[in-house]
Amino acid sequence: MKALELNHVALHVEDVDKSVTFYRDVMKLPIMARPDFDFPGAWFRLGKNQELHLIGDRNQPVHSHHRGGHFALMVDCLDEWESHLDAHRAVRLDRKKRPDGALQTFVQDPDGHWIELCKLPV
């Protein structure tokens, strides 16, 4: 018996339309078809097999921090991503180098959830 892989990350959001715009246009995630649940939301593709599920009607505070309560995406070119995020006036932290040599920055979504963008050393 074993866990096979991460299937999805779910985030509670206050305004689904605002979050869809952010994840589609700023984070460049492809939107997916979503089952007809009885609550608002949206689904996005994360890589090959993982998904991001947005769940609407958030009415509790978000407790997210770049050192905990975040998810990370591997990216192809951090320079291009930082320029893209800055052009969209996204809230992000300055780039840092992890002890393993990976480069990372963190961007905040409209609800205050942090997303790490990282590029492994070559």
Helix-then-strand count for the chain, H and E: 2, 9
- The per-residue DSSP string of 13-32 comes to -S-HHHHHHIIIIIS-PPEE
Per-residue pLDDT 10s for the chain (122 aa) are 998 888 999 999 999 999 999 999 999 999 999 999 999 999 999 988 999 999 998 788 888 877 788 999 999 999 999 999 999 999 999 999 999 999 999 999 999 999 999 999 88
Q: What is the pTM of this model?
A: 0.91
Structure tokens at 102: 């990976």
pLDDT of residue 2: 93
**Strand 96-97, strand 103-108: pairing:** antiparallel
Q: What's the pLDDT score for residue 5?
A: 86
The owner of tokens 């969209």 is 88
Q: What residue spans define the domains of the chain?
A: 8-58+69-119
Burial of residue 23 (CB within 10 Å: 0-12, 13-18, 19+) is: buried
85 DSSP assignment: H
Residue 79 CA to chain centroid, in angstroms?
18
CATH topology of domain 8-58+69-119: 2,3-Dihydroxybiphenyl 1,2-Dioxygenase; domain 1 (3.10.180)
